[in-house]
Amino acid sequence: MDKIKLKYHHLGIPTKEKHENETFLEKFKTYVSGYDTSQYKIEWMRYEKDAPLPEIVKTVPHVAFEVDNLEEAIKGKDILIEPNSPSPGVMVAFIIENGAPVELLQIDRSIAKEL
């Protein structure tokens, strides 16, 4: 079995406080901020009360890694959030690893605005 190549992408930290320049992800009822201004790629995530996400994602920080092939990276893993596209050119999924949420991203840089 080949090891999946992981590249650090960001640290997501749940918060109840509003932050400057929040972006609202309507599908997830989530506000995100800080990723593009943090030297260490720390992203603050604020959730509406009825955000349709697992409680562990809304309450426990997660680390995110970029992968070349999302489907391969999640094979055989405990999937917390199925693959989805929060923005053009970006596919993400969440898994549970040692009891903690981990986000995996596949980015098509010809489409995606980030990085």
Rounded mean pLDDT, 103-115: 81
In DSSP terms, 11 is beta-bridged to 42, 63
pLDDT of residue 114 exceeding 60? no
Helix (H, G, I), strand (E, B), or coil: what is residue 22?
A: coil
pLDDT in tens, 45-88: 999 999 999 999 999 999 999 999 999 999 999 999 999 998 88
Mean pLDDT of the chain: 92
pLDDT, position 89? 87
Structural domains in the chain?
7-107 (3.10.180.10)
Q: pLDDT grade, residue 1 (50/70/90)?
A: very low
pLDDT in tens, 8-42: 999 999 999 999 999 999 989 999 999 889 999 99
What's the pTM?
A: 0.88
